[in-house]
């Protein structure tokens, strides 16, 4: 079946602008995760959804970052007033409810803030 | 805050050799451990999970866990050039969250 998809694959934006990154998980996966990965680093957790609700948003760096999953499927990560330090690969993953750590990652969105 | 430490490498081995990748973790209470492989420019994919002390084998891959030493390793037998990638060690986060805490990864190069 289809894997996790993310759009756009690349996003270049100017400092101070607003961006939205979209993730479409594997069908039937109730859990959805957002991570951020910088060059030479492992993925860093941002937020986790179980169904429609954010079960853990402890990784969001500040209030410029927000994510939603209104219907329990597609999720959108929203970043306001982007800064150059937000530049990174944003990865989305999904998993089955009873296998939370077997996470399937999407191809990512490369965000560049100029 | 859980921490996962890996030697960033690069680790270079000849084709056919055994590649040994190591990971230490800070939380003695960790119960499960995962190895993800990430090819250059691609996203991570799960290749091994291990939950109890000892060895777990899957094809050419063997995961080894020593909870007393807070140490988990991944052995790749008969290494192939296609194994060249970054290998990420991960443990579950604290507080019952389903998030994963990843190490920085070890870059492996298998030379033909």
Q: Is the dihedral of CA B61, A6, A50, A26 positive or negative?
A: negative
What distance in Å separates the CA atoms of residue B107 and residue B48, rounded to the nearest whole number?
17
End-to-end CA distance of chain B: 40
Residue with tokens 């055994």: B18
Partners of residue A59 in chain B, C-beta under 8 Å: 99
CB A97 within 8 A of CB A30: yes
The per-residue pLDDT for A2 is: 87
Kindly report the average pLDDT of chain A as a whole number.
96
* Tokens coding A111: 């965000």
Partners of residue A31 in chain B, C-beta under 8 Å: 98
Tell if the CB–CB gap between B98 and A95 is shorter than 8 Å: yes
**pLDDT per residue as tens digits for the range B50-93:** 998 899 999 999 999 998 999 999 999 999 999 999 999 999 98
Pick from B50, B100, B107 the residue to mutate for testing the A interface (most A CBs within 10 Å).
B100
């Amino acid at each position: 079946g289809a894997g996790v998809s993310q759009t756009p694959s690349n996003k270049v934006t100017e400092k101070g602008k607003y961006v939205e990154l979209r993730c479409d998980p594997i069908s039937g996966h109730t859990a959805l995760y957002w991570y951020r990965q910088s060059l030479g680093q492992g993925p860093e957790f941002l937020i986790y959804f179980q169904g429609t609700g954010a079960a853990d948003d402890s990784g969001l760096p500040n209030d410029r970052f927000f994510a939603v999953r209104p219907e329990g499927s597609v999720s959108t990560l929203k970043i306001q007033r982007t800064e150059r330090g937000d530049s990174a690969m944003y990865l989305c993953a999904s998993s089955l409810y009873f296998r939370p750590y077997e996470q399937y990652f999407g191809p990512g969105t490369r965000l560049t803030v100029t | 805050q859980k921490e996962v430490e890996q030697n960033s490498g690069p680790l270079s081995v000849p084709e056919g050799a055994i590649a040994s990748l190591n990971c230490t973790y800070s939380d003695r209470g960790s119960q499960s451990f995962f190895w993800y492989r990430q090819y250059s420019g691609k996203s991570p994919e799960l290749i091994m999970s291990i939950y109890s002390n000892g060895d777990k084998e899957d094809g050419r891959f063997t995961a080894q866990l020593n909870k007393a030493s807070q140490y988990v390793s991944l052995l790749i037998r008969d290494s192939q050039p296609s194994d060249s990638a970054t290998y990420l060690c991960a443990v579950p986060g604290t507080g019952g969250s389903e998030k994963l805490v990843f190490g920085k990864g070890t870059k492996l190069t298998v030379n033909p």
